[in-house]
A and B are shown apart, each in its own frame.
Chain A
Amino acid sequence: MLMPAPDSNTIAQKARLAAALAELLPPESVIADPIALKAYESDGLTAYRQAPLLVTLPRNTAEVSAVLKFCAANQVKVVPRGAGTSLSGGALPLADGVVLGLGKLNKILEIDLENRCAVVQPGVQNLAISNAVAAAGFYYAPDPSSQIACTIGGNVAENSGGVHCLKYGLTTNNLLGLEVVLISGEVVRFGGKHLDACGYDLLGLMTGSEGLLGVVTEVTVRLLKRPETARALVAGFGSSEEAGAAVAAVIGAGIIPAGMEMMDRPAIHAAEDFVHADYPLDAEALLIVELDGPGVECDHLLLQVTEIVKANGATSLRVSESEAERLKIWAGRKAAFPAVGRISPDYYCMDGTIPRRRLPEVLKRMAELSQKYGLRVANVFHAGDGNLHPLILYDANKPGELERAEHFGSDILRLCVEVGGVLTGEHGVGVEKRDLMPEMFSELDLNQQMRLKCAFDPDGLLNPGKVFPKLHRCAELGRMHVRGGALPHPELPRF
């Protein structure tokens, strides 16, 4: 993975920079020791590693501001980092960059149930928010599978999803306000406890901007009332076409389930071998549908979904009659990644979204690619919203297999775009999909996004090398000549 060329001058000044930062922060909040720095060399995408120049661990907004202001003044690159669970390399350090870890900003500042919101610092774990309000019957809806570890600041940066986002939305639909520190050190606030922006929706823009626009130091999240009950059903199908048709029919009937997940045969077998969830091993596709709400609603909708699933050729069907049975149905799906980890030394998790109606074709072509690359693939699928997670099985110890897995993954994502989908549904672009961005966006599309980055970070110091395949100087992107009636860009490419 090619990253921006490290600036040898910055690297040479490491000791001076560390000493100066240690004057802005408590000395223990600045890490310069090479062995201690190793802990930060990668995130959840472990295939890429790079020790940072320095790590800083500020304790509050003022210290974050001081670090950013210092880095801007010294033209030092900054890589913000939450819990480091990114699957796209969003927090991959730079050899000449300072990692800005937000782990010490880990307090829940306020729980305001009257206004159905909580104000938290970015280093608070996703699940900790729900736990803090559980006794009052509330929760925070987005539930990425890493929710026991990942932090809300990282969720904002990546616009994280989860298995319930078809009904309850992604992170961006569940935020009310942010406090953000710009690279200049300036502290700005977007939103609050009220709804809608009072000018441009910079809260919406910040969400999912992958640490390239600013550093989030406070988050106001919406809290929802936890549904009274939830029930799940699991059905086996003889083909992915039939399972896909069942999903379309459920939505066609006007039902938006709390969760709707599919798994293919390899994923079913891996999960069943691991956790014994009583999945049907003869099925080509497995569908899990969860409904939530008052008991009367769950029962009513479950009856409808059961009829739909049967009508679409389910070969097996089981409905949860207790909370224990519901959890058992989910156990296999939730353990799918580690289950695949058991049958292969390594796996590579992809994250494209496709129009659901193209699923059978995508699975067929993925099987062909699997043959071509000589690597197995297992699929889990957020079926409701078309978000596909192919898991490519490989062995990093076998020479060339990682590269083959990466090429296979790239081909899968190209396929997603080709059928009318996108490169990433919830994991982010990071470094992983950076070089595939031109598959989805034209040069003009990317230039517009990069000009927006320039509006926030004119020197390109925040998380450079992520998201955009080419680095441009802001002056070059902003250039526009209009002379005497001549069109500025007569050579403009047209769609």
Chain B
Amino acid sequence: MELLSPASLEEAADCVRSALADKAPLEILGASSKRGFGRPVDAVKQLTTAALSGIVSYHPEELVLVARAGTHMDEIAAALEEKNQFLAFEPPDFGALYPGDDAGSNRTGTLGGILATNLSGPRRFKAGAARDHFLGFTAVNGRGEIFKGGGPVVKNVTGYDLPKLLAGSFGTLAVMDEVTVKVLPRPEKTRTVLLYGLDATAANAAMTKALTGSYDISAAAFLPEIQAQASDCDYVGAQGSVTALRVEGSGPVVEHHCAALRRDFGGATEELHSANSIALWREIRDLAPFFDIDTILWRISVPPAHGAGVAANCAIDIPGSNFLLDWGGGLIWLSIPASGGAHAEQVRRAFQRCGGHATLVRAPEAERRKVQVFEAEGARALTEQVKLSFDPERMLNPGRMFEGI
């Protein structure tokens, strides 16, 4: 397939206009690290943001960074680390989830890719997702028009909040060039209290107790025994399941909260300090060690107190499934043996009573073509009208999110 690599927004606009003239839809790519996420795109050519790369400006004291969409995440992370800052939504590195696809490309992905997929890590419930840190952009829409949305500062309500809409739109609305994101200071210290040996229901209850208490928890996850054993982290895996509660902040406050947690939760506990704590949450963020590479993977978002219940429903209905809970129970990562198919109906039935949604994150291409990977928010007709308002001829990533849209 022909690969277009515009080096400027004007060139990107030319690419889209040529596509319009030729009626030849484009597949929009960053580093191709998450190309397996979403429905397969029926495109004639590919357009990559690879040449739209580099940090444009960074003002740490304004909490704002501007970079081009094709900038690799490791470059962004390194620049921020130098100033002791970070992207607070903990963008995951899903390189290990989709191996084999375009070997040799940068597996950490691009900033544009993280925004387009609206991913976030364990800190989601406290700090928000990519959407909450996406302030502004310049882009080309499916009409081949250059436009911008949002603004250059952290507080702005001028016009519609287009960055929210582009976050998680999987390249179906526009091709982004410069993006402005909010950055924040890194916490001085991080520690994690581990509770050993709880079953999923008790773990979910413990996480709810921790999150409704005054411990200022920044991450709460449950690894069933089989997942805990898969972890490479010290103190994780030898004592059954692990319920992990993270606290972050200045030295005194972290000590204060950890002591309170160990006092209030009792049972078998352990405390991970800086390096071990960081390593564990990186594993949970990136999922690298937890699920076999050939499994189908679902990401299920539910009201947090219902996570264990929904996981139990899945276990009953879907043979061979495995899971872990993040976001205090609000996020279920569910793996299913590929041989039996995605079981979309069973997965979505599992949270029918409490509400939520499920996204098929990894599956063989045939399965992703067949199954609803996303669910249209609100009315499908509205989703289609929103798409057409940016891309009336369906030139950009057609079908990536919804069949026919």
Contact = CB atoms under 8 A, between A and B. Distances in A.
A445 B153 contact: no
Nearest to B143: A480
Interface stretch (B73-81, B105-113, B245-253, B315-323): B245-253
B147 A445 contact: yes
Interface string A372-386: 000000000010011
B304 A494 contact: no
A199 B145 contact: no
Interface stretch (A98-106, A269-277, A294-302, A363-371): A294-302
A440 B156 CA distance: 12
A114 B21 contact: no
Interface residues of B, number: 99
B143 A254 contact: no
User: Which residue among B214, B358, B389 has the maximum number of chain A CB atoms within 10 Å of its CB?
Assistant: B389
B128 interface: yes
Interface stretch (B226-234, B236-244, B278-286, B371-379): B371-379
Given A172-B164, A486-B21, A200 B60 contact: no
Contacts of B386: 200, 202, 205, 452, 455
Interface in B256-280: 256-257
A199 B153 contact: no
A426 B161 CA distance: 12
Interface majority SS (helix, strand, loop, mixed), chain A:
loop
Interface stretch (B46-54, B94-102, B184-192): B184-192
Given A137-B214, A204-B164, A452-B389, A195 B186 contact: no
Nearest to B152: A420
A210 B402 CA distance: 29
Contact of B355 (A194, A197, A225, A448): A194
Nearest to B85: A254
A482 B157 CA distance: 35
A472 B399 CA distance: 30
Contact of B145 (A194, A485, A489): A489
B131 A201 contact: yes
Interface string B156-187: 11111110110111000100000000001110
Contacts of B287: none
B168 A487 contact: no
Contacts of B383: 199-200, 202
B186 A254 contact: yes
B357 interface: yes
Contacts of A194: 301-303, 330, 355-357
A454 B61 CA distance: 39
Contacts of B173: 200
B158 A196 contact: no
Nearest to A429: B158
Interface residues of A, number: 104
Interface string A192-232: 11111111111111011100000000000000010010000
A252 interface: yes
Contact of A448 (B61, B149, B164, B169): B149
Contact of B214 (A173, A192, A228): A228
Given A195-B125, A198-B375, A294 B161 contact: no
B84 A296 contact: no
Contact of A199 (B62, B330, B375): B375
B164 A356 contact: no
Interface string A154-177: 000011010001100110110000
Given A192-B355, A297-B249, A353-B155, A204 B146 contact: no
Nearest to B17: A487
A445 B168 CA distance: 20
A467 B84 CA distance: 39
Interface stretch (B28-36, B205-213, B289-297, B334-342): B205-213
Contact of B374 (A173, A199, A228, A486): A199
Nearest to B377: A199
A163 B393 CA distance: 44
A424 B378 contact: no
A449 B377 contact: no
A188 B379 contact: yes
Interface string A453-495: 0111000000000010000000000101010111111001011
B27 to A, nearest CB: 19
A488 B17 contact: yes
A487 B331 CA distance: 46
B167 A201 contact: yes
B168 A201 contact: yes
B382 interface: yes
B148 interface: yes
Interface string A175-193: 0000010100010111111
Contact of B155 (A192, A382, A437, A487): A382
Contacts of A294: 214, 216, 253, 256-257
B10 interface: yes
B124 A195 contact: yes
Contacts of A117: 303
B246 to A, nearest CB: 16
Given A194-B301, A488-B143, 20 more contacts: A158-B157, A166-B155, A192-B356, A195-B331, A199-B376, A200-B383, A201-B169, A204-B164, A204-B167, A228-B214, A253-B185, A296-B252, A300-B250, A300-B251, A420-B152, A437-B159, A441-B159, A448-B390, A452-B390, A489-B143
10 contacts: A114-B304, A194-B303, A194-B356, A201-B168, A355-B152, A444-B147, A446-B159, A452-B160, A482-B21, A489-B143
